[in-house]
Amino acid sequence: MKLPRSLRLDLPSWVNLFCEQLPESLESPEDRMAVAISLSRQNVVHDSGGPFGALVVERDTGKIIALGVNRVEPANCSSAHAEIMALSLAQQALASWNLSRAGRGEMQLVTSCEPCAMCMGAIPWSGVRSVLCGAGKADAEAAGFDEGDRPDDWVEHLAARGITVVRSLLRTQAAKVLDQYVRSGKPIYGP
């Protein structure tokens, strides 16, 4: 019996040009979130996945380590969320499964929407020390996405592990991308 023996997840080709237009570092939290929102918007415009974008940066310098967009539908992979893509690509770029041990200072995950239950679970093991979130769980659920059974006190759970969270950063702009996606009639995937 032949079973699959490898998995390959790629970012869409438009990300190459997107990367070329980015500055070397993103100084403010708002600058970082604007990039995550732009990634989510471009993913909708290019019809290359769901309306979610994320990036990993060095927290102190704002140097971009990796980008991610949602690839669930095109990759036929339920775990190909923007956060998982960005975290995985950062781990590959820094050659460490634990980003806090990569010798580059503290890492920050920036995501256009609060993490779903799966992505929230991946955050502590990734080694990031802080998370910036745009749209909220309520915004994603209003668009029709199932965010899973994430505890209401998830921010406190992460804080207990030494991970800080900032919520609702540029929330209105981030939620507009979710609304744009819904109005476009693209699929709302989930269980």
Pair of tokens at residue 179: 């609304």
Strand residues in 32-172 grouped as ranges (E): 53-58, 64-69, 107-113, 130-135, 164-166
Contact residues for 39 (Cβ-Cβ < 8 A; gap 6+) = 15, 18, 53, 54, 55, 67, 68, 69, 82, 112
Q: How far apart are CA 75 and CA 160, in angstroms?
A: 34
Q: How far apart are CA 138 and CA 113, in angstroms?
A: 10
Of the candidates 148, 152, 93, the one whose C-alpha atom is nearest the C-alpha of residue 122 is 148
Give catalytic residues, as residue numbers. 83
Residue in this structure with the two tokens 């991610």, named with its chain if needed: 68
